[in-house]
Structure 1
Amino acid sequence: MKDRAARIRTGTLPKARQVSEDPRIHTSLAHLRSLEGPARGLSFLPRQPAQSVLNGRHASRLRGRGLNFEELRDYLPGDDVRAIDWKVTARTGAPHVRVMTEERDRPALLVVDQRMSMFFGTRHNMKSVTAAEAAAMTAFRILDQGDRVGGIVFGDEVLAEIRPQRSRAALNRFLTALADASALLHAEAPNVTPIGLTQVLRSVAHIARRNHLIVVLSDFDGIDAETERVVAALSRHNDLILVPVTDPSAGELPPGLRLIVTDGALQAEIDTGSAGARQGLAEMSRGRIREVLDWQRRFGVAILPLSAGEETLPQMRRLLGLGPR
């Protein structure tokens, strides 16, 4: 426990053994740094494109950043009619608009799951890689917006915490923690009881008491009623974005396969030729995602679902209402 606490404070993770150089299996610090350029154009500011999933029917779901009054001026063609100051307009007899500027320096906390349940992929990436890529691009854009950025990166037994700061040094520590956590994932990893997502979110609640942007990237394995209560509490005082990362095989296992699955100690054979087995596996995965999607309706959180079966950047651009590069 003391060792784990030290890693939480310093934001460091133990060094891993030699890992695969395939960027679809393990991500590297160099690869994560290379995503800064491709990520340009993404935005996590309150004003979102009409087709962005962060844009509600009438207003942005990102409500944490406040607005400062800048000036009062005459209405010009093309101005947003919602900005018209009707009292001044009635008093002067001419339409006037209030010009507001967005506050800067809002802290953002990126929570990235790198547990063994994320070390799975059948088509393009491991889920862990997709989560790391999305987190890196999000971090670059948040820092470029002028906000503070930090994060919590957690695996089965280790957790690194980087407090939000407006500095490249903090961003580099976050990217290093992502790469180190990815390198710890391997098929021969010992079977241990992993850190629960609920436990991590409680740590988030201590850091982000209010007015934070919180982005959680995970497969949401192991969620329960307590997870729901923590999510509800976080969403009341912060902007909360949940990024469920899934693999295409979760809902469409091909028939006729005999799969051997193991937790490192026990193993079982799954015959996908059985319609009942396929249906049971698909329902288990859909049930977890269905619960996360229900939080969107009940708590007003934003959901950005990502698939490990596609490239990460095109998915993020599509979800944020942007066209292809």
Structure 2
Amino acid sequence: MNNNRDDSRLEVYTTTKRLMQLEADGRLPDIHGRQRTCSLLSGQRGSRMRGRGLDFDELRRYARGDDIRHLDWRATRRTGTPLVRSYTEERDRPTLILCDQRMDMLFGSTLLLKATAAAEVAALIAWVAFHAGDRVGGLVFNDQDIDIVTPHRSRQQVADLLSQIARRNRALHVGHQQPRNRDQLDRVLSRTLAQARHDQTICIVSDFSGLTERTLGLLQQLSLHNDVLAVQIYDPLGMELPRHGVVTVVDNQAEVTLDLGHAATRERLTDFMQSRFRDIDDHLRRSRFPHIKISTAMPTLPQLRQALGLMARPRA
């Protein structure tokens, strides 16, 4: 839906420079660590975030103070000497960030376009992962194309990912609409399934427009062997339309202009928008992996901090 209004107050597009500057804001604790109680990732959903793995290092002689749970009883019986298994923490975990820049994301009513909010959230998560020691890559997609950035642990790779996001973001124009591809989200998830075999972190930043039962199945397949985090970008105007104004609703290449001054028209459109939002929300909740929501009406960083339970501690 496009709102016919003056966009001068909107932060319409982003740039690579702007996304790179978010590095300072992206110095947040690793999202794989223990979540605080107030976090939306804590409790039942938070338990699906596996955290960093431990890789087997070697068998060595038991020393006083070692955890007896690490005793290798089979090797101990074989050698007659108490042996324990030692581990090293996995510090190089691939993180894939899927950033939606489809035409449905070219909408905003207050502060940010959905596409720009998604770009900022994707950049913040990329910097969090980078400073946690992860390899960072991703898939940036519009209605027709998918740009793939292979995960590597380097600042240049993060810069390449953010450059692709900014490029796709700035290519969004009302006057140059690409044909909408309702299967594109499924196509992106299928490509991710082929690339992310196991033990990766996959963050999907999207409004999840076009989500279906097949999409849900692909998400569940991804979450079987990977950590999946869904970040749903939404605009509050879709939940409560103004009493005046003209909007153009676009769906499957059809465009209809509606006058919100007519109460019956406004109510029907509000019901439609709220129903679509609830359907997406219900699908994501059924997926049983962490799911957070980011509004375009507020700055992205405070929302992400709050969602992850990372608000600054009160002063002593």
Instruction: Specify the TM-score bucket, using the shorter chain as the normaliser.
Output: 0.7 to 0.9
Displacement of 1:185 in angstroms is 0.5
1:303 corresponds to which of 291, 299, 302: 291
Displacement of 1:261 in angstroms is 4.5
1:251 maps to what in 2? 239
- Counterpart mapping for 1:164-313 below 5 A: 164-194=151-181, 196-261=184-249, 267-313=255-301
8 Å CA contact 2:233, 2:293 repeated in 1: yes
Q: Which amino acid is 1:106 matched to?
A: R
**Count of residue pairs brought into register by the alignment:** 289
Structure 2: how far apart are the matches of 1:21 and 1:177? 25
TM-score normalised by length of structure 1: 0.79
Q: Deviation per CA, 1:55-105, whole angstroms, max 9, x where unpaired?
A: 225963311532358999869xxxxxxxx97899xxxxxxxxx99874211
Residue 60 (str. 1) matches residue 47 (str. 2): yes
Q: Do the aligned partners of residues 283 and 34 (structure 1) sit closer, same or farther apart at CA in structure 2, a change above 3 Å counting?
A: same
Q: Deviation per CA, 1:120-139, whole angstroms, max 9, x where unpaired?
A: 10110000000000000100
Runs of 5+ in structure 1 lacking a partner? 1-19, 76-83, 89-97
2:15 maps to what in 1? 28
2:4 maps to what in 1? none
1:149 corresponds to which of 123, 136, 139: 136
TM-score normalised by length of structure 2: 0.81
Structure 1: how far apart are the matches of 2:116 and 2:134? 25
1:5 maps to what in 2? none
Displacement of 1:268 in angstroms is 2.3
Q: Do the aligned partners of residues 23 and 68 (structure 1) sit closer, same or farther apart at CA in structure 2, a change above 3 Å counting?
A: farther
Q: Do the aligned partners of residues 291 and 101 (structure 1) sit closer, same or farther apart at CA in structure 2, a change above 3 Å counting?
A: farther
2:81 maps to what in 1? none
Q: Do the aligned partners of residues 220 and 34 (structure 1) sit closer, same or farther apart at CA in structure 2, a change above 3 Å counting?
A: same
Structure 2: how far apart are the matches of 1:220 and 1:252? 19
Structure 1: how far apart are the matches of 2:256 and 2:174? 16
8 Å CA contact 2:238, 2:273 repeated in 1: yes
Structure 1: how far apart are the matches of 2:249 and 2:9? 23
8 Å CA contact 1:42, 1:320 repeated in 2: no
- Counterpart mapping for 1:90-109 below 5 A: 102-109=89-96
1:134 corresponds to which of 121, 124, 131: 121
Q: Do the aligned partners of residues 305 and 65 (structure 1) sit closer, same or farther apart at CA in structure 2, a change above 3 Å counting?
A: same
Q: Which amino acid is 1:201 matched to?
A: L
Structure 1: how far apart are the matches of 2:155 and 2:263? 52
Q: Which amino acid is 1:214 matched to?
A: I
Q: Which amino acid is 1:287 matched to?
A: S
1:51 maps to what in 2? 38
Residue 111 (str. 1) matches residue 98 (str. 2): yes
Backbone CA RMSD of aligned residues:
3.1
Q: Do the aligned partners of residues 178 and 271 (structure 1) sit closer, same or farther apart at CA in structure 2, a change above 3 Å counting?
A: same
Displacement of 1:181 in angstroms is 0.4
Q: Which amino acid is 1:160 matched to?
A: D
Q: Do the aligned partners of residues 205 and 87 (structure 1) sit closer, same or farther apart at CA in structure 2, a change above 3 Å counting?
A: closer
2:76 maps to what in 1? none
Q: Do the aligned partners of residues 73 and 235 (structure 1) sit closer, same or farther apart at CA in structure 2, a change above 3 Å counting?
A: farther
